[in-house]
Structure 1
Amino acid sequence: MTLDLLPVGQGARIVAVDWTALVPEEAQRLRALGLEEGARVSVAHRGILIWRDPVAVTVGRMTVAVRRVHAAAMEVESL
């Protein structure tokens, strides 16, 4: 399952990221925020528009808003 499909409030671990699907600068920023393989995450909130964008992701003690296309590039497993 990808991070954009994870139900709100459910914990997961990022098992793989398709870094080639992302712009290099965006990929670097996501890594700096801790969104990389092995990180424990959960979806805190989704946008209310048709595309459900952005996705608020909790990583550790911080919440980061990411675009849905970024979340779709992250493969997760439920905890």
Structure 2
Amino acid sequence: MSGSFGSGGGWRWRRGRGEDCQSERARTLDDAEPGDRCVILRLRGRGVTRQRLLDLGFQPGREVTVLRNAPLRDPIETQVGESFVALRRDEAAHVFVEVRHD
């Protein structure tokens, strides 16, 4: 999906590149629960946040595990490969994942 700013002053989504994220189990990483094993489908956004996520190893096709939430649910601790990464929820909202039920 790609976004655009409409004349109504709000953000709206239109169909596009993110159609693979429409499955029943697809969601953003900030909605995943501790213990969930997920596969990254795609990253939303551009610029610094997207580049930071890529640099941290959040790349499409990689597996990520949600380990735990901080007491106020922000940040969340994840594991990507051998790395442990704490993400703020607003950053995790840029990562579309599919939860694995193995």
Runs of 4+ deviating beyond 6 Å? none
Larger radius of gyration: 2
- How high is the TM-score relative to the length of structure 2? 0.66
| Alignment coverage as a number of residue pairs | 74
Q: Which has the higher helix share?
A: 1
Any idea what SS the aligned residue of 1:75 has? strand
What RMSD, in angstroms, separates the aligned Cα atoms of the two structures?
1.2
What TM-score, normalized to structure 1?
A: 0.83
1:75 aligns with 2:101: no
Query: Greater relative contact order (Cα 8 A, min sep 6): structure 1 or 2?
Result: 1
Aligned residue in 2 for 1:3 = 29
Measure, in 1, the Cα distance between the counterparts of 2:90 and 2:56.
17
The 1-side partners of 2:28 and 2:41 are apart by 10
Question: Is the Cα–Cα contact under 8 Å of residues 30 and 89 in structure 2 kept in the other structure?
Answer: yes
Identity %, equivalent residues: 36
Which ranges in structure 2 are unaligned for 5 or more consecutive residues? 1-26
